């Protein structure tokens, strides 16, 4: 049974869809009159959920044990399409459609309840048919399971609380005003064959385009992919919240890789992401980007290695700046329940930074999920209501360099008793606080030209032979395109470097200037997120040889 | 450890990646065989060209440390599959999939000692997904990358094998690592893409799942239709070129209930055919599903049985699984040579291992048994060897083993049983295991004899094992040479004429040789067990066919059971269901 369930789950999660012209993202909830439960019950999914919820709240109780004080049902339906290609030919293509139910049952009360890692709910595969009995059956079985584990977890928690001297710093669960919000479900409409052909063509540019024909034999991998996904979520709680929401996302990407003569593996990729097909690059623009990757790969193969260690100013492009912000700041600004028995407020890098300075004074950070587009481009991290049924709020996280707030869901921490609408969840996963649309802005931001002059001025002041400019970053903050900049401003591509000393301290005290223009990074992951950030000039960064293992060059030449 | 179980149609490309491997004189053969056969598909030609290029280039780039391979093969499984799943009477999943996976096999050294020796067997194969289009350049690129990686892995492994060979004592079985075989050429017609009437099947799958609404104590059910059409393309440096289609349609029904004491009980029913059209009529399937429902409702109320040691009948289905687990796995060739293996039968060739009225063969060339489609059939094995019927045991005497191209002391050649799922190195495996008997009686007589045997042993009842699920057999030396099989439906057959009584919570335990020698007589009708079998070389489809058997002594123990309570509230819709009319068992 397990294997069936996991297979089906996998299938449900993996289907992403390409869509032509499904763009009605704007929720109807705001403009229409406030919807009621009667309106909600016109939707067969919501009706089945409410029926089963009422039955469970009134009748679910094991003899001699407590009844639940809170139940939440969340059903997510995924409709998706994904096509992948390599070397000019489609390698996989799938359309899929599936639904999962997640049930949360809490026993105890808002102050102390059963929640914790041992009791974060139960998940069931459910139907995509509007069949009330089948929908309710899936919810029924998950509710039964979740209630029984909640009882066990509650008893364990009561026992654990007796083992610690320091009482919990906040309630287990926040009280929130119920909302009813009914947005229209989106439809996935994509021309699958057209996208297959387009992605296949892009993945074959290395062998078909005359402008890159010299690299043809050097490109080892050339991959393309297109993913489209519509997620519709139905959510009801025993407190009276009823939500239906729907979100779409599209991503086209290409990646190429090669080895330098010394065996070093070189990877470059480009992605175009948005909430509608109109947000994506046009075919011509995407093709240009892919050809640029192939050309850069050829340049990288010939680029000199970084030899001596460098400490000094580094200018990060806005594209690289976004990566820095995402990996150093985004995870630290969420508030999660600390370990029992401690006096901590939250976890992570900024656990004790409330009201402390985390960035230079000229930088501000806000997370505003209601920001749906920026410069005309749709933002995948935007949403109206979070996955705990709480309306999203704009949260001013960093004001003049100081951390003034955290992103939080319905699990309070000290001084933050309410959710600010940031309880977000991946497919069928438990919600936890996450960013939506995180925006970093600089007072008196500089143009690219001004930043470059400032970098060169720093070089001159310190008598440096050269400084560095980071064009793009890969995973683990490893530069993909890194340039050595000579005092006259000439940029030379180098390879084999890694960045060091790039941490929270560098962000706090090392950023000496930031750009005016913001880069938009749409991360189309299970919990879609958007980060907007400027270019950053950081005073003291280390650049050194990465010394990664160099794979053997191919044992025999590639096919003609 | 090996298991036979229903693997729920998860396999997309892992069915029979047929890999062939053979000796060098293929030309004459290929001309004869090729005469009446269709033109080779582009995929096969692209594979041949790239294989030859790799075989003639590797180890010849002027680096003395890079040895040329002595054998290479490409096996590509091109599989398209459609699945439709329903639960609680409504659709929960629907997918269509097409995938090509290439297994690249590289052998370095010599057949006597190569990179696959001993525990390094997996170093002989490297897998990669291939483009779906018949695009020669894209295919060649992917194969090149996979070959490159596979060669690197083989080279590293071969150096280790050489070092280990020098430092270790002489092995018990010093057979070579790869057998000499003649190349095979067979260009079968590739399987067409899966085409089914989706909306009709959605309705049928839904309807099957909906049957359980009449059985409110069945708290979970799942019905899955999997239709998979696969074609395996195989080329080797020895000159083999094989194209074989493999098509299968399967409906799997799984249902569960929980007894008041927390014991989870489940039943599985499967239907197999070559294509979806060949599956049984809806009414027939619904009736079988209804039986599952009835049986589960009866089982959850059945008493938990006490440990028992006495006579028992295994139904044909139960006997089939019993033979697959207890005997079949021990007759796999590679189990006779591993230092870790228990080698129950290694020295038994020519000796009596079963009662003389029993014979056992494995015959993958059989497509059906009676009207029932056999899961374990194939035309060529995953090493490109032609499937053959192998008489394993004749009149109780052990004759041979299930052989891949891994030789053992007593047998040097493959007999077409080198099987694996995509990505694994083939080993000797079962296909369709068929048990036959010359001492058979009618089912009624068999039952009578059970009662007599029980009386003789002073027991108040004997056991009848009607259905069993998966089991596992331990063949490794460091574990006890035992097996355990989980029966699903077991009846007590009383000697005093009381009606048979359904019991639950039994598992069969014991040691293999002893158990099989206690078979007294068989029934006169054979039954088929279709399933999927997992072992070292992965999951492969198998069948086992056997008549019912009376065993003089069968040992059972209590099955470990859960303690979770049954659901607190009734299943939705149950309140509306009038008390269901249950057909008598």
Q: Which of B96, B145, B569 faces A140 most closely, judged by CB atoms?
A: B569
For residue B57, pLDDT over 80 is answered with yes
Element containing residue B491 per DSSP (H, E):
strand B483-494
Q: Give dist(CA A152, CA A156) in Å, integer.
A: 6
Q: Which of A4, A11, A555 faces B148 most closely, judged by CB atoms?
A: A555
Instruction: Please report the residues numbered 82 through 141 in chain A whose beta carbons come closer than 8 angstroms to any beta carbon of chain B.
Output: 85-99, 125-129, 131-138, 140-141
B438 touches chain A (CB under 8 A): no
Segment B102-109 mean pLDDT: 97
Query: In this predicted model, what pLDDT tens digit does every residue of B35-52 receive, in sequence order?
Result: 444 567 999 999 999 999
Query: In this predicted model, what pLDDT tens digit does every residue of A545-554 receive, in sequence order?
Result: 998 888 889 9
Instruction: Please report the residues numbered 60 through 99 in chain B whose beta carbons come closer than 8 angstroms to any beta carbon of chain A.
Output: 61, 66, 83, 85-99
The pLDDT value given to residue B173: 84
Q: Please tell me whether residue A330 adopts helix, strand or coil conformation.
A: helix
Element containing residue B101 per DSSP (H, E):
strand B90-110
The 10 Å Cβ neighbour count of residue B537 is 23
The pLDDT value given to residue B342: 74
The pLDDT value given to residue B576: 58
Range list of H helices, B168-281: 198-210
Q: Which of A1, A8, A204 faces B92 most closely, judged by CB atoms?
A: A8
Query: In this predicted model, what pLDDT tens digit does every residue of B461-494 receive, in sequence order?
Result: 999 999 887 554 445 544 555 556 778 899 999 9
The pLDDT value given to residue B451: 97
Q: Which of A4, A93, A559 faces B8 most closely, judged by CB atoms?
A: A4
Query: In this predicted model, what pLDDT tens digit does every residue of B349-386 receive, in sequence order?
Result: 999 999 999 999 999 999 999 989 999 999 999 999 99
Per CB-CB distance under 8 Å, the chain B contacts of A134 are 87-90
The pLDDT value given to residue A547: 81
Q: Quick one: which of B367, B322, B244 has its CA closest to B529?
A: B322
Segment A374-391 mean pLDDT: 97
Top-confidence residue, B213 or B574: B213
pLDDT band for position B509 (50/70/90)?
confident
For residue B114, pLDDT over 80 is answered with yes
Query: In this predicted model, what pLDDT tens digit does every residue of A63-98 receive, in sequence order?
Result: 999 999 999 999 999 999 999 999 999 999 998 899
For residue A530, pLDDT over 60 is answered with yes
For an interface test with B, give the residue of A134, A151, A207, A257 to mutate (most B CBs within 10 A). Answer: A134
Q: Which of B86, B93, B137 faces A87 most closely, judged by CB atoms?
A: B137
For residue B21, pLDDT over 70 is answered with no
Sequence-distant (6+) residues with CB within 8 A of B575 are: none
Q: Which of B88, B96, B152 faces A138 most closely, judged by CB atoms?
A: B88
Shortest Cα distance from A152 to chain B (angstroms)?
12
A549 touches chain B (CB under 8 A): no
The pLDDT value given to residue B476: 52
Report CB contact under 8 Å: B131, A87: yes
The 10 Å Cβ neighbour count of residue B502 is 18
Instruction: Please report the residues numbered 350 through 409 in chain A whose beta carbons come closer than 8 angstroms to any beta carbon of chain B.
Output: none
Report CB contact under 8 Å: B206, A129: yes
pLDDT band for position A17 (50/70/90)?
very low
Query: In this predicted model, what pLDDT tens digit does every residue of B548-561 receive, in sequence order?
Result: 999 999 888 887 76
Chain A to chain B Cβ contacts (< 8 Å): 168
The pLDDT value given to residue A18: 29
Report CB contact under 8 Å: A555, B130: no
Instruction: Please report the residues numbered 208 through 267 in chain A whose beta carbons come closer than 8 angstroms to any beta carbon of chain B.
Output: 220-221
The pLDDT value given to residue B483: 58
Query: In this predicted model, what pLDDT tens digit does every residue of B530-548 receive, in sequence order?
Result: 988 888 888 899 999 999 9
Per CB-CB distance under 8 Å, the chain A contacts of B58 are 555-556
Q: Quick one: which of B433, B430, B457, B436 has its CA closest to B551?
A: B457
Segment A363-386 mean pLDDT: 97
Mean pLDDT of chain B: 87
Query: In this predicted model, what pLDDT tens digit does every residue of B264-279 receive, in sequence order?
Result: 888 989 999 999 999 9
Report CB contact under 8 Å: B569, A55: yes
Per CB-CB distance under 8 Å, the chain B contacts of A128 are 90-92, 94
What's the predicted TM-score (pTM) here?
0.89
Per CB-CB distance under 8 Å, the chain B contacts of A138 are 87-88
Sign, CA dihedral B422-B428-B434-B440, equals: negative
Query: In this predicted model, what pLDDT tens digit does every residue of A440-488 receive, in sequence order?
Result: 999 999 999 999 999 999 999 999 999 999 999 988 889 999 999 999 9
B54 touches chain A (CB under 8 A): yes
Q: Give dist(CA B230, CA A417) in Å, integer.
A: 58
A152 touches chain B (CB under 8 A): no
The pLDDT value given to residue B38: 56
Q: What is the DSSP letter of B402?
A: B
Q: Report DSSP letters for A161-213, one per residue.
A: HTT-SSPPSS-SS------EEEPPPP-----HHHHHHHHHHHHTHHHH-GGGG
Could you tell me the two tokens for A330? 């985004």
- Work out the end-to-end distance of chain B between its first and last CA atoms, rounded to an integer number of angstroms: 36
């Amino acid at each position: 049974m397990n294997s069936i369930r996991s297979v089906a789950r996998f299938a449900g999660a993996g289907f992403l869809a390409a869509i032509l012209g499904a763009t009605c993202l704007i929720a109807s909830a705001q403009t229409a009159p406030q919807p009621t439960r009667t309106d909600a019950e016109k939707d067969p999914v919501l009706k089945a959920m409410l029926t089963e919820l009422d039955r469970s709240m009134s009748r679910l109780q094991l003899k001699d044990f407590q009844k639940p004080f809170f139940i939440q049902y969340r059903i997510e339906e995924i409709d998706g399409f994904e096509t992948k290609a390599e070397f000019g030919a489609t390698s996989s293509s799938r359309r899929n459609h599936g639904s999962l139910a997640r049930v949360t049952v809490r026993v105890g009360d808002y102050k102390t309840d059963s929640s914790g890692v041992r009791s974060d709910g139960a998940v069931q595969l459910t139907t995509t048919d509007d069949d009330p009995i089948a929908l309710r059956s899936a919810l029924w079985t998950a509710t039964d399971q979740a209630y029984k584990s909640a009882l066990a977890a509650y008893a364990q928690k009561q026992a654990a609380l007796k083992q610690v001297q320091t009482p919990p710093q906040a309630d287990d669960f926040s009280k929130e005003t119920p909302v009813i919000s009914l947005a229209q479900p989106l439809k996935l409409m994509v021309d699958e064959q057209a996208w297959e052909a387009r992605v296949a063509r892009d993945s074959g540019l290395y062998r078909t385009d005359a402008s890159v024909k010299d690299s043809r034999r050097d490109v080892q991998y050339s991959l393309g992919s297109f993913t489209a996904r519509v997620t519709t979520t139905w959510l009801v709680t025993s407190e009276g919240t009823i939500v239906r929401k729907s979100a779409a996302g599209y991503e086209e990407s290409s990646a190429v890789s090669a080895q330098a003569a010394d065996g070093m593996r070189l990877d470059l990729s480009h992605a175009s992401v948005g909430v509608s097909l109109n947000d994506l690059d046009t075919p011509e623009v995407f093709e240009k980007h892919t050809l640029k990757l192939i050309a850069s790969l050829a340049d990288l193969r010939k680029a000199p290695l970084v030899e001596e260690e460098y400490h000094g100013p580094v200018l990060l492009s806005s594209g690289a700046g976004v990566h820095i912000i995402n990996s150093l700041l985004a995870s630290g600004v969420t508030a999660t329940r600390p370990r029992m028995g401690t006096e901590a407020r939250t976890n992570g890098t900024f656990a004790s930074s409330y009201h402390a300075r985390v960035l230079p004074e000229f930088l501000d950070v806000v997370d505003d999920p209601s920001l749906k587009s920026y410069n005309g481009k749709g933002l995948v991290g935007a949403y109206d209501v979070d996955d705990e049924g709480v309306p999203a709020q704009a949260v001013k996280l960093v004001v003049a360099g100081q951390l003034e707030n955290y992103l939080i869901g319905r699990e309070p921490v000290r001084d933050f008793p309410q959710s600010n609408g940031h309880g977000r969840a991946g497919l069928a996963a438990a919600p936890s606080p996450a960013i939506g649309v995180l925006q970093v802005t600089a007072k008196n931001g500089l143009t690219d030209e001004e930043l470059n002059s400032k970098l060169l001025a720093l070089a001159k002041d310190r008598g440096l032979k050269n400084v560095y400019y980071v064009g793009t970053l890969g995973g683990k903050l490893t530069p993909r395109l890194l340039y050595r900049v000579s005092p006259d401003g000439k940029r030379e591509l180098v390879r084999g470097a890694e960045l060091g000393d790039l941490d929270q301290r560098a962000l706090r005290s090392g950023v000496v200037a930031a750009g005016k223009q913001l880069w938009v990074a749409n991360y189309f992951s299970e919990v879609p997120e958007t980060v907007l950030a400027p270019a950053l000039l950081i005073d003291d960064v280390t650049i050194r040889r990465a010394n990664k293992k160099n794979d053997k060059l191919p044992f025999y030449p590639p096919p003609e | 450890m090996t298991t036979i179980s229903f693997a729920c149609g998860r396999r997309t490309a892992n069915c029979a990646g047929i890999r062939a491997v053979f000796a060098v004189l293929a030309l004459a053969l290929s001309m004869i065989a090729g005469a009446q056969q269709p033109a080779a598909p582009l995929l096969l030609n692209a594979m041949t060209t790239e294989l030859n290029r790799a075989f003639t280039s590797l180890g010849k780039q002027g680096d003395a440390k890079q040895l040329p391979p002595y054998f290479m093969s490409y096996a590509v499984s091109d599989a398209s599959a459609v699945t439709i799943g329903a639960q609680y009477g409504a659709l929960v999943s629907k997918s269509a999939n097409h995938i090509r996976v290439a297994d690249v096999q590289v052998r370095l050294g010599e057949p006597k000692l190569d990179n696959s020796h001993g525990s390094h067997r997996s170093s002989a194969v490297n897998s990669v997904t291939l483009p779906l289009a018949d695009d020669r350049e894209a295919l060649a690129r992917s194969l090149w990358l996979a070959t490159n990686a596979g060669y690197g892995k083989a080279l590293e492994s071969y150096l280790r094998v050489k070092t280990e060979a020098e430092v270790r004592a002489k092995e018990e079985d010093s057979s070579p690592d790869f057998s000499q075989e003649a190349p095979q050429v067979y260009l079968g017609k590739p399987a067409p893409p899966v085409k089914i009437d989706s909306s009709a099947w959605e309705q049928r799958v839904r309807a099957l799942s909906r049957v359980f609404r009449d059985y409110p104590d069945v708290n979970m059910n799942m019905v899955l239709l999997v239709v998979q059409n696969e074609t395996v393309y195989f080329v080797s440096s020895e000159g083999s070129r094989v194209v074989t289609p493999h098509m299968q349609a399967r409906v799997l029904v799984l249902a569960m209930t929980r007894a008041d004491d927390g014991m989870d009980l489940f039943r599985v029913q499967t239907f197999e055919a070559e294509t979806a059209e060949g599956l049984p009529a809806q009414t027939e399937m619904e009736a079988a599903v209804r039986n599952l429902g009835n049986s589960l409702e009866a089982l959850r109320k059945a008493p938990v049985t006490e440990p028992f040691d006495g006579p028992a009948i295994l139904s044909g289905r139960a006997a089939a699984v019993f033979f697959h687990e207890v005997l079949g796995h021990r007759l796999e060739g590679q189990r006779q040579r591993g230092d870790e293996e228990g080698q129950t039968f290694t020295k038994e060739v020519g000796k009596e291992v079963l009662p003389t009225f029993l014979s056992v063969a494995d015959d993958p060339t059989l497509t059906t048994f009676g009207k029932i489609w056999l899961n374990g059939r194939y035309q060529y094995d995953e090493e490109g060897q032609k499937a053959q019927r192998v008489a394993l045991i004749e009149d109780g005497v052990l004759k041979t083993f299930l052989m891949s191209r891994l030789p053992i002391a007593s047998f040097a050649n493959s007999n077409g049983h080198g099987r694996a799922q995509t990505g694994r190195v083939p080993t000797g495996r079962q296909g369709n295991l068929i048990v036959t008997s010359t001492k058979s009686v009618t089912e009624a007589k068999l039952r009578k004899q059970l009662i007599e045997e029980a009386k003789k042993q002073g027991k108040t009842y004997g056991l009848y094992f009607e259905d069993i699920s998966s089991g596992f057999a331990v063949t490794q030396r460091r574990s006890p040479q035992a097996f355990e099989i989980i029966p699903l439906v077991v009846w007590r057959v009383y000697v005093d004429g009381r009606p048979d009584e359904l019991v639950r919570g039994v598992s069969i335990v014991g040691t293999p040789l002893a158990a099989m020698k206690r078979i007294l007589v068989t029934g006169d009708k054979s039954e088929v067990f279709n399933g999927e079998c997992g072992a070292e070389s992965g999951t492969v489809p198998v069948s086992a066919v056997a008549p019912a058997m009376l065993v003089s002594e069968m040992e059972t123990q209590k099955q470990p059971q859960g303690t979770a309570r049954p659901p607190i509230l009734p299943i939705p819709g149950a309140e509306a269901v009038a008390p269901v009319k249950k057909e008598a068992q």
